[in-house]
Structure 1
Amino acid sequence: MQLFSTFESTGFLEMAVSTLEKRGISKESIFAVPLDNRREARKIFDTLHRSDGTTLIDIGVGFATALSVIGASIGFKLAWGPIYWGLIGAFVGFVLGFAIRFFIELVVKKRKRTLKGKYSEIILIVDCPESKAELIEEILWNHFALGVAKIK
């Protein structure tokens, strides 16, 4: 049976490996693989084949609706009339909302992404008999593994 687990690169990984060795798992049965994490920044604009589930136009559409109504209402008293002022209000509202959302995604959420989040840095693979699988899984969880999987 094989157990796969992911860890951050901390002392807990080394403690887990030494605990496994103390419990009778040989060094040849323990295999650690370092991962290369993503270096480039995430893309803000979606493509046809990839979407991250966030939209940049939701606030823009709401502002466009609100400012077009206000522009059309005020436009009855202005020279160009309500249709032109409604369209101008819609355009200004959309651009304003898009800029606000773009700023939020670019600055605020990027800062949150860098502050929080745990990254898997090492995969630990343990070969063991099926009788010791529960013990090894418990050891890995107790040493703060980010994830554990068993394969028979």
Structure 2
Amino acid sequence: MQIFSTFETTGFLELAITTLEKKGIKKENIFAVPLDNRTEERKLFDSLHRSDGTTLIDIGMALATACSVITASIGFKLSWGPIYWGLIGAAGGFLIGLLIRLFIEKVIKKRKRQLKGIHSEIILIIECEETQAEAVEGVLWDNFAIGVSKVK
């Protein structure tokens, strides 16, 4: 039976390995694989096949609506009329909202696009007998494994 678990790079990983060795698991049956973390920056714009769930046009649409109503009202007194001024206000409001959202995403929330929370950095693979599986799993959970899975 194989048991897979993920850990952060901490002293608890070393404690888990030494505890497993004390429980009778041979060194040859314990395999640790370090993971490479993402080095490139996440993309800001979504494609047709991939989306991160954030939108850039939400503020732009709200400002386009507000600005078009205001400029259309003012447009009754201006020479081009309310329709043209409403369209000009909608375009201007949308561009302002889009620029605000781009500024927020690029400058303020730059860290949000990076992976957040606990990252798995090492995969630990343990080959053991089915009778040892519960004890091995308990040792892994006791040493703060991020995730554990068993494969027969």
What TM bracket, shorter-length normalisation? over 0.9
> Is residue 37 of structure 1 aligned with residue 60 of structure 2?
no
Write the letter of the residue equivalent to 1:71. Answer: T
The CA distance in 2 between the partners of 1:115 and 1:124, in whole Å, is: 21
The CA distance in 2 between the partners of 1:110 and 1:133, in whole Å, is: 43
- Structure 2 counterpart SS, 1:136: helix
The alignment covers a number of residue pairs equal to 152
Q: Which runs of 4+ in 1 moved over 3 A?
A: 112-116
| Cα-to-partner distance string for 1:85-137 (whole Å, 9 max, x where unaligned) | 11111011101111122122222322345594222111000011111212111
CA separation of 1:107 and 1:141: change in aligned 2, threshold 3 A: farther
The CA distance in 1 between the partners of 2:134 and 2:93, in whole Å, is: 59
Query: What residue in structure 2 maps to residue 104 of structure 1?
Result: 104
- Structure 2 counterpart SS, 1:38: coil
TM-score (norm 2): 0.92
The CA distance in 1 between the partners of 2:101 and 2:30, in whole Å, is: 47
The CA distance in 2 between the partners of 1:108 and 1:115, in whole Å, is: 16
Query: What residue in structure 1 maps to residue 77 of structure 2?
Result: 77
- Structure 1 counterpart SS, 2:109: helix
> Is residue 50 of structure 1 aligned with residue 60 of structure 2?
no
Instruction: Judge conservation of contact 2:75–2:86 (CA < 8 Å) in 1.
Output: yes
Q: What RMSD, in angstroms, separates the aligned Cα atoms of the two structures?
A: 1.6
| Cα-to-partner distance string for 1:49-105 (whole Å, 9 max, x where unaligned) | 222121111111111111111110111112221111111110111011111221222
Query: What residue in structure 1 maps to residue 5 of structure 2?
Result: 5
TM-score (norm 1): 0.92
State the percentage of identical aligned residues.
Answer: 71
Structure 1: tracts of 5 or more residues without a match = none
